[in-house]
């Protein structure tokens, strides 16, 4: 970029310069016209069609949850010894999907990866929606979800307190904190953009809504100063948080004594898996957004290329983790661990183990090739593969470990019911419904953040701050 | 230009022009210089002479407070108020508190950073600022950069300010009225606030009450006390006779009521009293004898009970030689099955009570026919 070059006396060779963050000429004004116009225009037919599909899926989920409530948890396939199945698989799956958003918005922000500005908003929104999908599962699994507030430590007439040594309680705190922080982060980022929408809209109703949501933001330099500081602090806090949340989720398993769960590798392994699955979901959604909303000049092929590289590196970390799992089982000389690991590759659910390994390790290796990283077909194939693979990874960890543990007389094959699948489908419906609504109601790209990194956006003599 | 003008706003088209104008305007000392931009401009805080944001310190303090709060809360609950040993660890071992300490630290710090920035430092939400209703605002949140000279005192000269802005390169000048800071602490306002708080508390209280008391009892929500079950004394369609409570099937034997000694009295002669001669057994036997036997056989077992006169039959005098020669089994048989006019007592005496009363009858017989040797046993 020009500002980078101007700092150095010797001009930097073309090949070493950071490539442009946008394609073609983008000015702050054109950016607003392009991005902030979506909420003001009527959605196309395809949008309604997509919404109808996702709402139908959501309706299936609502019906299945309603059936569960009236019938009881027995409507699911959970049975001794697999008391945790789809509910916790889906919980871990969705919380994991959310991690990409925080990673992009917080960790890449701290690393000053400026390309993240264009995709951060969508990824953050996906975080919030994914966590909303995730929390459904523990809530309905408690059996009486209207008493779910019992999860919190509050003084009560039963004179009971929660057990602070239980990782399940840590989970309650971690997920609630994660949701609150993500929401705060997202909303803070939205405020200047909503102010832009407030000042450009002509509809009175929208003006009122945006006025309230923008809190009277006026872009004063003294405000920006605190705002930037707050954003930086939140990024730092969210970075620690995103690493902790999936670690705490993994504690649910790692602190127990079930063979296949009781491993120190679990926290980093879970965090890497979460980022892996989350980035794949972001790639899927961004490709669709980029194509259908004509945002090719802002969400560039470079974004997708970089994200695919992240997916590839996470895939390698996953490969290492899987191998370490096998190594631990072998090196421990513990027959239960041996049996658990052999179950993954040869047992009744061996097919699930191989789906996991193929989708998470083998297929993403395609991304070593630049051709695959720049082709929709291949990157979507990998991303869908990873989404499936990561879901099955949780299936493998949870169901395979539980269905055969120490006591052979208690072994049993787990079979999910249609209700289980219906609820899973319903959360996909909820997630994509929220994504679709978000895409038409709020700015899908953080215009303020992108404006700040456009060429000529910063004064030429103030570039030393970068 | 109006006397009440509060600020003069000049628009610039590029951030460079804005940055060049700032030192000039600050040097002119016509008023407070403030910039309004669509996104943060690097270096503008130094150019405007803004003080560093104190947010970092605030967040640090609140984060530490969050950690301490979480630790204190968990320690008090786990080690003092409700100590439960989990995993063999001491109730006060603090290592398990770390994850929640971390989460609460982040929570406190985040809310301090977000809300502290908005509410405390930036004084938002505030909808009365004149710039929000200015013509320039549309550009400011889009692609224009504005500098404002804001009145610091009564002596603010808006005409001079406008000139200075124009000289510094502003393309568009706008004069703004004073911000609409409606008086805050009027009695009317306080009353309305108190009323609002009252109504809010009322609504919140009723809401929480119904949420806890009424909402959980709605249709799909089930509690254990509502499960389908048979209540004693209630009608039921489950059984043919329509009763919820059913008699036990014929031949049912309750625990402790074994139907032993079913044969003849002679056949029972060989039964041996299984109970030891202990104080408890004699106490139990005495209780049974007093409740069940004494009324006919008399307190001394001599057949002179209080019912004798009114009762047609003559109860046995258990002190008679015939009964003193009985083996335990034959007395037991009589207790269980009854004899002559005496009814069977098996239905309401457990096996233990039956044998205990046999011991007691033996004691009564011995007490009435004591020998000198018996006295020796009692004496020490």
Task: Give tens-digit pLDDT for A13-39.
Answer: 766 666 777 888 888 888 898 899 888
The more confident residue out of A73 and B4 is A73
What does the pLDDT average to over B228-246? 83
CA A459 remoteness from chain centre: 35
**Residue B161 at interface with chain A, using a CB cutoff of 8 Å:** no
Chain segment B251-292, per-residue pLDDT in tens? 888 887 876 667 888 888 888 888 999 999 999 999 999 999
Instruction: Kindly list the residues from chain B whose CB atom is less than 8 angstroms away from the CB atom of residue A195.
Output: 141
In this prediction, residue A6 carries a pLDDT of 47
How many residues are recorded in chain B?
380
* Position A322 pLDDT exceeds 90: yes
Q: What is the structure's pLDDT at B172?
A: 87
* 8 Å CB contact between B177 and B130: yes
User: What value does the mean pLDDT of chain A take?
Assistant: 90
Of the candidates A72, A216, A457, the beta carbon closest to that of B127 is on A216
B132 vs A: CB within 8 A: yes
**Complex-level ipTM:** 0.91
Predicted local distance difference test score (pLDDT) of residue A5: 44
Residues of B in contact with A26 (CB under 8 A): none
Give yes or no for a cis peptide into A282 (omega within 30° of 0): no
pLDDT of res. A331:
93
Instruction: Give how far B168 is from chain A: nearest CA, Å.
Output: 16
Q: What percent of chain B has pLDDT over 90?
A: 36
What are A139's two structure tokens? 């809530």
Mean pLDDT for the stretch of residues B1-10: 68
Share of chain B above pLDDT 70, in %: 93
pLDDT band at B347 (very low <50, low <70, confident <90, very high): confident
**Nearest alpha carbon to residue B284 among B276, B330, B295:** B276
Per-residue pLDDT, averaged over A94-117, amounts to 89
Segment among A456-460, B133-137, B299-303, B354-358 with least mean pLDDT? A456-460
Tokens found for residue A452: 């700040």
- Which residues of chain A does B126 touch, with a Cβ-Cβ cutoff of 8 Å? 215-216
pLDDT level of residue B309 (50, 70, 90 thresholds):
low
For residue A10, the model assigns a pLDDT of 65
Distances in Å between the Cα of B214 and the Cα atoms of A68, A324, B137, B206 are 21, 53, 50, 11
- Within 8 A of A174 by CB-CB distance, chain B residues are 99, 103
Indicate whether B178 pLDDT > 90: no
pLDDT band at B374 (very low <50, low <70, confident <90, very high): confident
CA–CA distance, B275 with B204 (Å, rounded to integer): 68
Q: Which of the four pLDDT bands, split at 50, 70 and 90, describes residue A465?
A: very low
Are A248 and B99 in contact (CB < 8 Å)? yes
pLDDT of residue B285: 94
pLDDT bracket for residue A463 (50, 70, 90): very low
Among B107, B116, B143, beta carbon nearest to A177:
B107
Of A198, A230, A457, the CB nearest to B114: A230
Range A58-69 average pLDDT: 94
Residues of B in contact with A172 (CB under 8 A): none
Residue bearing tokens 């191989």: A354
- A-chain CB neighbours of B142 within 8 Å are 28-29, 32, 196, 199-200
B356 has pLDDT over 90? yes
Stretch A146-155: mean pLDDT, rounded?
87
* Average of per-residue pLDDT values in chain B: 86
pLDDT at B180: 65
pLDDT given for residue B150 in this prediction: 86
Determine the 3-state secondary structure of A351 from DSSP. helix
Averaged pLDDT for residues A135-156: 88
Instruction: Please report the pLDDT score of residue B181 as a whole number.
Output: 64
Give the C-alpha separation, A350 to A396, whole Å. Answer: 9
Q: What is the pLDDT of residue A11?
A: 67
Mutate to test the interface with B, among A185, A198, A222, A262 (most CBs of B within 10 A): A222
The maximal CA–CA distance of chain B, rounded, in angstroms, is 140
pLDDT band, very low/low/confident/very high, at A439 (cuts 50, 70, 90) = very high
Q: CB distance from B40 to chain A under 8 Å? A: yes
pLDDT in the model for residue B177: 81
List chain B residues with CB under 8 Å of A144. Answer: 216, 221-223
Residues of chain A with C-beta less than 8 angstroms from the C-beta of B102: 240, 244
pLDDT tier, A422 (very low <50, low <70, confident <90, very high otherwise): very high
Per-residue pLDDT, A224 = 94
Q: Is the pLDDT of residue A386 over 90?
A: yes
Nearest chain B Cα distance for residue A244, angstroms:
8
Which of A204-218, B173-187, B323-337 has the lowest average pLDDT? Answer: B173-187
Measured distance CA(A356)–CA(A429) in Å, rounded: 23
What is the rounded distance in angstroms from the CA atom of residue A307 to the CA atom of residue A276? Answer: 10
Residue B102 has pLDDT above 90, yes or no: yes
Residue B224: pLDDT above 80?
A: no
Go through A194-207 and write b for each residue having 16 or more CB atoms within 10 A of its CB, e for each that does not: bbbbbbbbeeeebe
Average pLDDT for B121-142: 88
**CA of B224 to nearest chain A CA: how many angstroms apart?**
11
Q: Is B25 on the interface with A (CB under 8 A)?
A: no
* A363/A383 Cα distance (integer angstroms): 9
d(CA B64, CA A231) in angstroms, rounded, equals 19
Calculate mean pLDDT across residues A324-349.
Answer: 92
Torsion of CA B353, B355, B357, B358, to 10 degrees: 170
Task: Identify from B103, B146, B228 which residue to disrupt to test chain A contact, counting A C-beta atoms within 10 A and taking the largest count.
Answer: B103
For the sheet with B7-12, list strands across it: B32-36, B145-150, B7-12, B172-176
Considering only alpha carbons, which residue of chain A is nearest residue B127? A216
A21-30, A84-93, A359-368, B201-210: the lowest-pLDDT one = A21-30
Distant-in-sequence, close-in-space partners of A303: CB < 8 Å, separation ≥ 6? A115, A118, A119, A286
**Residue A270: band (very low, low, confident or very high) from pLDDT cuts 50, 70, 90:** very high
C-alpha pair distances (Å), A20 with each of A282, A297, B36: 21, 11, 27
pLDDT of residue B184: 56
The average pLDDT across B99-118 equals: 94
Distances (CA, A) of B263 to B29, B211, B245, B329, B330: 124, 68, 34, 11, 11
pLDDT band at B1 (very low <50, low <70, confident <90, very high): very low
Terminal Cα-to-Cα distance of chain A (whole angstroms): 12
| Residue B7 pLDDT class (50, 70, 90 cuts) | confident
Q: State the count of interchain CB pairs (< 8 A) between A and B.
A: 227
Nearest residue on chain B to A68, judged by CA atoms? Answer: B220
CB contact under 8 A, B116 and A230: yes
Query: How large is the average pLDDT for residues A111-138?
Result: 92
Residues of A in contact with B140 (CB under 8 A): 199, 218-219
Please judge whether B222 and A72 are an interchain contact, meaning their C-beta atoms are less than 8 angstroms apart. Answer: yes
Residue closest to A284 by CA, chosen among A355, A403, A378: A378
């Amino acid at each position: 970029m020009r500002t980078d070059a101007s700092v150095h006396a010797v001009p930097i060779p073309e090949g070493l310069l950071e490539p442009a963050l946008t394609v073609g000429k983008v000015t702050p004004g054109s950016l607003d016209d392009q991005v902030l116009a979506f909420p003001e225009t009527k959605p196309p037919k395809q949008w309604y069609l997509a919404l109808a599909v996702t709402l139908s899926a959501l309706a299936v989920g609502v019906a299945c949850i309603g059936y569960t409530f009236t019938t009881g948890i027995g409507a699911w396939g959970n049975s001794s010894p697999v008391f945790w199945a789809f509910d916790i698989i889906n919980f871990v799956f969705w919380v994991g999907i959310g991690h990409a958003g925080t990673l992009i918005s917080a960790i890449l922000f701290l690393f000053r990866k400026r390309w993240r500005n264009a995709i951060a908003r969508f990824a953050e929104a996906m975080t919030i929606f994914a966590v909303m999908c995730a929390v459904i599962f523990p809530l309905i699994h408690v059996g009486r979800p209207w008493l779910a507030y019992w999860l919190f430590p509050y003084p009560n007439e039963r004179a009971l307190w929660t057990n602070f040594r239980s990782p399940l309680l840590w989970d309650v705190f971690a997920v609630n904190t994660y949701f609150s922080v993500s929401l705060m982060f997202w909303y803070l980022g939205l405020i200047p953009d909503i102010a832009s929408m407030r000042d450009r809209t002509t509809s009175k109703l929208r003006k009122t809504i945006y006025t309230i949501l923008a809190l009277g933001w006026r872009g004063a330099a003294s405000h920006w100063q605190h705002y930037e500081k707050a954003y930086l602090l939140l990024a730092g806090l969210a970075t620690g948080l995103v690493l902790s949340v999936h670690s705490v989720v993994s504690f649910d398993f790692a602190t127990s004594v079930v063979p296949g769960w009781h491993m120190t590798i679990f926290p980093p392994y879970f965090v890497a898996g979460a980022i892996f699955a989350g980035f794949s979901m972001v790639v899927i959604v961004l490709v669709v957004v980029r194509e259908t909303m004509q945002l090719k000049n802002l969400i560039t092929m470079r974004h997708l290329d970089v994200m695919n590289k992240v997916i590839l590196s996470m895939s390698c970390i996953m490969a290492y983790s899987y191998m370490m799992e096998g190594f631990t089982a072998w090196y421990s000389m513990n027959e239960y661990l041996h049996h658990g690991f052999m179950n993954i590759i040869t047992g009744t659910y061996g097919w699930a183990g191989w789906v996991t390994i193929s989708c998470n390790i083998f297929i993403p290796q395609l991304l070593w090739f630049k051709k695959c990283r720049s082709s929709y077909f291949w990157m979507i194939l990998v991303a869908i593969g990873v989404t499936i693979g990561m879901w099955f990874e949780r299936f493998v960890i949870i169901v395979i470990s539980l269905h055969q543990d120490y006591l052979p007389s208690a072994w049993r094959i787990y079979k999910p019911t249609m209700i289980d699948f219906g609820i899973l489908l319903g959360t996909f419906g909820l997630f994509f419904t929220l994504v679709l609504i978000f895409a038409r109601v709020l700015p899908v790209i953080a215009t303020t953040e992108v404006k700040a990194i456009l060429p000529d956006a910063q004064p030429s003599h103030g570039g030393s701050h970068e | 230009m109006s006397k009440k003008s509060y600020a003069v706003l000049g628009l610039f088209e590029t951030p460079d022009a804005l940055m060049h104008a700032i030192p000039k305007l600050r040097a002119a000392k016509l008023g407070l210089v403030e910039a309004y931009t669509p996104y943060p401009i690097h270096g503008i805080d130094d150019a405007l002479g803004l003080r560093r944001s104190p947010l970092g310190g605030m967040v640090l303090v609140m984060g530490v407070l969050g950690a301490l709060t979480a630790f204190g809360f968990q320690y008090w609950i786990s080690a003092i108020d409700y100590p439960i040993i989990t995993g063999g660890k001491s109730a006060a071992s603090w290592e398990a508190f770390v994850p929640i300490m971390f989460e609460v630290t982040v929570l406190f710090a985040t809310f301090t950073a977000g809300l502290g920035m908005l509410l405390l430092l930036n004084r938002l939400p505030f909808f009365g600022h004149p710039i929000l209703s200015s013509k320039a605002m549309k550009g400011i949140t889009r692609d224009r950069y504005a500098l404002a000279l804001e009145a610091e005192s009564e002596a603010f000269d808006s005409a001079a300010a406008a000139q200075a802005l124009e000289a510094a390169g502003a393309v568009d000048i706008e004069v703004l009225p004073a911000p609409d800071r409606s008086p805050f602490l009027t009695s009317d306002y306080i009353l309305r606030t108190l009323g609002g708080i009252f109504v809010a508390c009322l609504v919140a209280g009723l809401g929480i009450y119904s949420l806890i008391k009424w909402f959980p009892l709605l249709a799909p929500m089930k509690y254990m006390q509502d499960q389908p079950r048979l209540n004693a004394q209630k009608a039921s369609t489950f059984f043919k006779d329509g009763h919820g409570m059913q008699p036990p099937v014929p031949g049912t034997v309750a625990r402790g009521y074994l139907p032993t000694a079913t044969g003849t009295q002679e056949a029972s002669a060989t039964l041996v009293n299984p109970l030891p001669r202990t104080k408890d057994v004699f106490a139990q036997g005495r209780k049974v004898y007093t409740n069940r036997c004494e009324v006919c056989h008399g307190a001394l077992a001599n057949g002179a009970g209080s019912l004798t006169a009114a009762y047609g039959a003559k109860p046995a005098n258990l002190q008679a030689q015939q009964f003193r020669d009985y083996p335990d089994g034959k007395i037991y048989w009589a207790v269980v099955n009854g004899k002559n006019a005496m009814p069977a007592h098996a239905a309401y005496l457990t096996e233990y009570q039956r044998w205990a009363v046999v011991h007691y009858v033996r004691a009564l017989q011995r007490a009435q026919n004591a020998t000198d040797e018996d006295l020796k046993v009692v004496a020490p």
